[in-house]
């Protein structure tokens, strides 16, 4: 049989079109006998049910929220921070019987806006009730499309836009606490390992020094944390920021090896994430150096592995951030539109006084 529609099923079952629709959408309005006859007829004809997108247009509810992020899809399941935040978000989604749609986006480069158009189109077509923007730039077209559609948008970065909601930490202040610690320990030459969006330009694990004109290629949270570190270290401390590429232990190890392969190597390495710091730790040890004595090392996030290896880092409530983002977009009784969560500097054995 050709294209089977709602009307085809109605004619074959000897009922009205609205009765077939109710069999799927409002089963309580039909007797069990009538509903069984409709569903058996549909199964025989190979009819899978009403189109979900069309049904959401009629009901004005999709039953799903979208998570926007500018990384590969696999990153959501492999990065410890992402996994923790997703767990918190999913916990609330389950409570409200709502699905979660992961929407990976292309990076947005204002000089090449056409590259992000596929992401904008994906956002136009996504059947969702609300959006969580996870480290997505303020002017990313997909974010703008979500607001044009009138969707509730909750963001993890601070934007001067009252149309959106926010769950934040003081990124700059948290990074400054790490910079202040290294300054007080007497470090005068500090390497900073940052992840970047240079994937289309260079291999992911080819490190190099970040020039001022390159900083637009940094992820927004990396940019803020680098500025916070610099401000706290002050003008008398030499800061060497290095592109690591993708946020992975392999990239962290390559960037740390690059920093250490100099006669006047840094006495401390600050990493934008714990994942990068774990890779840097491996590189320091492979050079025959002791972490915390020969080279101090810091991370950011306080993922579970950080405590196991004695990594000095900033602790942020990852799971709670995901939960609050979910509340903001799903719970009509949740009133705050902006929440700033506390962070904590956790000092462990990976940092110590600058060696003489």
Residue 306 lies in a domain: yes
60-64 long-range Cβ contacts below 8 angstroms, 24+ apart: 61/129, 62/127, 62/128, 62/129, 63/97, 63/98, 63/99, 63/129, 64/98, 64/99, 64/100, 64/101, 64/127, 64/128, 64/129
The count of other CB atoms within 10 Å of the CB of residue 243 is: 27
CATH number, position 95: 3.40.50.2300
CB 271 within 8 A of CB 252: yes
Q: Are residues 323 and 304 in the same domain?
A: no
Q: Are residues 130 and 164 in the same domain?
A: yes
DSSP structure string for 84-105: HHHHHHHHHHHHTT-EEEEEE-
pLDDT for 138 equals 86
156/214 Cα distance (integer angstroms):
23
> What is the extent of the structural domain holding 12?
6-50
CB 39 within 8 A of CB 1: no
Residue 69 has phi, psi (to 5 degrees) of -155, 145
CATH number, position 35: 1.10.260.40
Q: Are residues 184 and 240 in the same domain?
A: yes
pLDDT for 72 equals 82
The C-alpha angle with vertex 133 and arms to 86 and 329, in degrees rounded to 5, equals: 75
Q: Which residues pair with 101 in a beta bridge?
A: 66
Q: Which one, of 251, 351, 218, 249, lies nearest residue 295 by Cα?
A: 351
pLDDT for 217 equals 74
Residue 290 lies in a domain: yes
Q: Are residues 244 and 202 in the same domain?
A: yes
328/206 Cα distance (integer angstroms):
39
pLDDT for 278 equals 98
Residue 356 lies in a domain: no
Q: Which residues of the chain have pLDDT under 70?
A: 1-2, 48-61, 197-205
Pair type for strands 64-69 and 313-315: unpaired
pLDDT for 183 equals 98
The predicted-structure confidence for 53-64, as pLDDT tens digits, reads as follows 555 544 456 789
* pTM of the shown model: 0.81
Residue 32 lies in a domain: yes
């Amino acid at each position: 049989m050709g294209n089977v529609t709602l009307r085809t099923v109605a004619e074959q079952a000897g009922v009205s079109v609205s009765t077939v629709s109710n069999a799927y959408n409002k089963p309580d309005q039909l007797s069990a006998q009538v509903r069984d006859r409709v569903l058996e007829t549909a199964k025989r004809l190979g009819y899978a049910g009403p189109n979900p997108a069309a049904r959401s247009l009629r009901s004005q509810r999709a039953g799903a929220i979208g998570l926007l992020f500018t990384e590969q899809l696999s990153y959501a399941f492999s990065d410890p921070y992402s996994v923790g935040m997703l767990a918190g978000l999913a916990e609330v989604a389950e409570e409200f019987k709502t699905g979660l749609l992961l929407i990976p986006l292309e990076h947005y480069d204002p000089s090449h806006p056409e590259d992000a158009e596929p992401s904008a189109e994906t956002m136009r077509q996504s059947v969702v009730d609300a959006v969580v923007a996870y480290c997505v730039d303020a002017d990313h077209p997909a974010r703008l499309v979500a607001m044009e559609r009138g969707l509730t948008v909750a963001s993890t970065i601070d934007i001067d836009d009252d149309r959106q909601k926010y769950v934040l930490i003081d990124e700059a202040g948290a990074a400054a606490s790490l910079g202040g610690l290294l300054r007080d320990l007497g470090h005068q030459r500090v390497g900073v390992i940052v992840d970047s969006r240079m994937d289309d330009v260079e291999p992911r694990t080819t490190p190099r020094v970040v020039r001022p004109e390159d900083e637009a290629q940094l992820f927004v949270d990396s940019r803020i944390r680098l500025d916070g570190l610099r401000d706290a270290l002050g003008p008398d401390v030499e800061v060497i920021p290095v592109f690591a590429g993708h946020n992975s232990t392999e990239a962290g190890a390559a960037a740390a090896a690059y920093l250490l392969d100099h006669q006047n190597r840094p006495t401390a390495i600050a990493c934008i994430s714990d994942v990068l710091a774990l890779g840097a730790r491996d590189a320091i040890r492979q050079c025959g150096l002791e972490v915390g004595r020969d080279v101090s090392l810091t991370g950011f996030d306080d993922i579970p592995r950080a405590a196991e290896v004695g990594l000095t880092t900033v602790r942020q409530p990852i799971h709670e951030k995901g939960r609050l983002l979910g509340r903001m977009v799903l719970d009509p009784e949740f009133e705050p539109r902006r929440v700033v969560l506390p962070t904590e500097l956790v000092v462990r054995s990976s940092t110590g006084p600058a060696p003489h």
